[in-house]
A = this chain, B = another copy of it.
């Protein structure tokens, strides 16, 4: 199958502006299934007025980072750094870590490659972990976006050790790890050197507008990150809401159960429409279809935005559908008798 020539609405998910431009006749409101964001947002209370009217206080930032440390089970010797979304760190790292050769386990989220190419690094998309060992910086998205591929934590630690031996660094992007078994995360056994883990907040908690994420890093890299982000790296609202939400494990467990049940319903609808499963996570489903691009168009004309990939025209990715009404809308767009 050839690469697609000119595709409107590729790139990031969540870009409804591009979708509206490309499909101006589509009914409003759009149903955005192009992201991997939890449709059931954490039920936060509005932050106190001081979250807005004061500069965020150092001890409030400490409280947030301590909550993240406990929940991610970050070991002593590692630092947990609150960041204004992991995208901000993906953009900062190439300026803070010197690397001539960067290897990324493919096929994955495009922004890692873009940010390193921006500073002139030689970026290789690797097919396996072995190809990553000789790089200055290696990047593994785990679980992978969009196919959900998992690399076992011990393998990541072995790779980090190999990289550390020649002064390299392994970056593990755990943007979609929150609903998986605790053993999947590389954070609890993060070595003192050689590995940095990125954790998202907005996706699992359904609050991407807050702009909050975390980097778990060895002290020297963490120190560079803190200097780069300055004394007020995240908003007062992100601190207030994040500190509370992270410690609410009952909510996270209930959300996982609800998302998995909804995910099974989505699996059935996609299978019924002739899509073959190709991976995914608790927050999205990747499917394959020889007419995937036609389906993308038909869905878009119905005001439903899926995620497509310029390099993989037979793939579509769907976020979890949060309500019965939206599910009926999707089934309807697929031509099902609701």
Interface residues of A (CB under 8 A from B): 12-18, 32, 35, 37, 41, 44, 46, 49-59, 84-85, 87-88, 90-92, 95, 111, 118, 202, 206-211, 227-232, 234-238, 241
Contacts and interface: CB of A to CB of B under 8 A. Distances in A.
A14 B211 CA distance: 23
A55 B209 contact: yes
B57 A17 contact: yes
A61 B235 CA distance: 17
Contacts of A35: 55
B53 A87 contact: no
Given A52-B210, A88-B229, A207-B52, A57 B237 contact: no
Contact of A237 (B16, B84, B237): B237
A108 B137 CA distance: 39
Given A16-B57, A57-B17, A231-B12, A84 B52 contact: no
B55 A208 contact: yes
Nearest to A44: B52
A108 to B, nearest CB: 17
A236 to B, nearest CB: 3
8 contacts: A12-B231, A13-B55, A32-B54, A52-B209, A53-B206, A88-B229, A209-B236, A235-B237
A95 B92 CA distance: 9
A20 to B, nearest CB: 9
A111 to B, nearest CB: 7
A148 B308 CA distance: 54
Contacts of A206: 53
Nearest to A46: B46
B17 A230 contact: no
A17 B88 CA distance: 27
Nearest to A227: B118
A118 B41 CA distance: 39
Given A54-B208, A88-B230, A228-B91, A235 B238 contact: yes
Given A16-B57, A211-B235, A238-B235, A90 B41 contact: no
A239 to B, nearest CB: 8
A103 B209 CA distance: 38
A230 B111 contact: yes
A84 B211 contact: yes
Given A46-B46, A95-B228, A118-B227, 6 more contacts: A12-B231, A37-B55, A52-B209, A55-B202, A88-B229, A235-B237
A237 B44 CA distance: 14
A50 B111 CA distance: 24
Nearest to A61: B17
A6 to B, nearest CB: 19
